[in-house]
């Protein structure tokens, strides 16, 4: 028969393990609260702000995309 790993530890080690497990559970709850977006400072029902991109930035992104597609089409035309 195999012995349980808990059978080989002392009472003090067991208490310490329980205390660590409780700390882990508390931290996990706090982490899920933070990640879940349930902050106490956030206004209830407030919509997140949308970022506005300048016309210059949109033009730059558009030009880069057009250049990438031009390269793809050029390679396709050569084949």
Strand locations in the chain (E): none
DSSP state of 27: H
Q: Report the phi/psi class of residue 39: left, alpha or beta, with left for phi > 0 and alpha for psi in -120 to 50.
A: beta
**Residue 9 DSSP SS3:** coil
pLDDT in tens, the chain (79 residues): 456 666 778 889 999 999 999 999 999 999 999 988 655 555 556 677 788 889 999 999 999 999 999 999 999 888 7
Task: Give the pair of three-digit tokens for residue 43.
Answer: 């206004």
Sign of CA dihedral 66, 71, 75, 77: positive
How high is the pLDDT of residue 74? 92
């Amino acid at each position: 028969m195999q012995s349980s790993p808990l059978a080989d530890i002392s009472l003090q080690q067991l208490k310490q393990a329980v205390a660590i497990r409780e700390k882990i559970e508390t931290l996990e709850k706090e982490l899920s609260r933070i990640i879940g977006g349930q902050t106490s400072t956030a206004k209830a029902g407030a919509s997140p702000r949308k970022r506005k991109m300048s016309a210059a930035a949109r033009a730059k992104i558009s030009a880069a995309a057009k250049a990438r597609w031009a390269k793809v089409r050029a390679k396709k035309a050569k084949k």
